[in-house]
Amino acid sequence: MQFTLLSLCFTLLFFKRAQGQVSCDECLSAIDSLQLHLMTDTSVGIQSGLLVLEMCPLTPNPQVCVDILPVHWQGIAAVAYPFVLQAQEICSTLQVCGRNNPAEERIWTCDYCTSAVSAVGDIMAMNEMISATVEYLKGDVYCGGAEDHQPDLCQDYVEMFMPLAMNILAGYTKQYAPGLCNSIIEENLCQVDT
């Protein structure tokens, strides 16, 4: 499920065509809302279940993954999402902030929102983002900062699991973009098949 810089470029081209649909403040608010949504207990539980089903079988020791992932994912999500989903950086990458973008409020459309959420998925899956997130989690903020972690073992697990997890969750973010838009922007913004 490796996404490339090319797919991010295509997404940015969409944003270039649709420039001006939302203000910088609205983009910042949407990314902050996405971050908060992904860190809710319900969302973290869904993510954990998804990773156990899709990621653990791909690891060298699937049972270890099944045993430790559900226990630690809440803590990882609480540290990783604020690092990965930095609103100012993402909205600048999406070329919504840092350009002449009037501050008046505009109406979000489903297409624009799902494209933005898909672009966030592309950013999450970029090798540079994955590497930076792995290094961040291996540091004092996660592996070295909790008393219940064995730092060396934690660092090994972060290196083993996070690249797979980020790619799977990036795909999840893209696949479920309409539902996420309904959660972070406005209920019923997008038609979602149940």
Residue-wise pLDDT for 93-111, tens only, equals 888 887 655 555 567 889 9
Q: Residue 151 has what pLDDT?
A: 82
Q: Residue 106 has what pLDDT?
A: 61
Q: Which residue has the tokens 């699937």?
A: 62
Q: Residue 97 has what pLDDT?
A: 87
Q: What is the pLDDT of residues 26-50, one digit of tens each?
A: 899 999 999 999 999 999 999 999 9
Percent residues over pLDDT 90 in the chain: 65
Between residues 21 and 183, the one the model is more confident about: 183
Q: What is the pLDDT of residues 108-130, one digit of tens each?
A: 889 989 999 999 999 999 999 99
* Residue 1 pLDDT exceeds 70: no
* Residue 190 pLDDT exceeds 60: yes
pTM of the entire structure? 0.83
* Residue 24 pLDDT exceeds 50: yes
Q: Residue 8 has what pLDDT?
A: 42
Q: Which residue has the tokens 């690249």?
A: 163
Question: Based on the number of CB atoms within 10 Å of its own CB, is 53 exposed (0-12), middle (13-18) or buried (19 or more)?
Answer: exposed
* Mean of all residue pLDDT scores within the chain: 85
Q: Tell me if 51 sits within 8 A of 61, measured CB to CB.
A: no
Q: Tell me if 76 sits within 8 A of 137, measured CB to CB.
A: yes
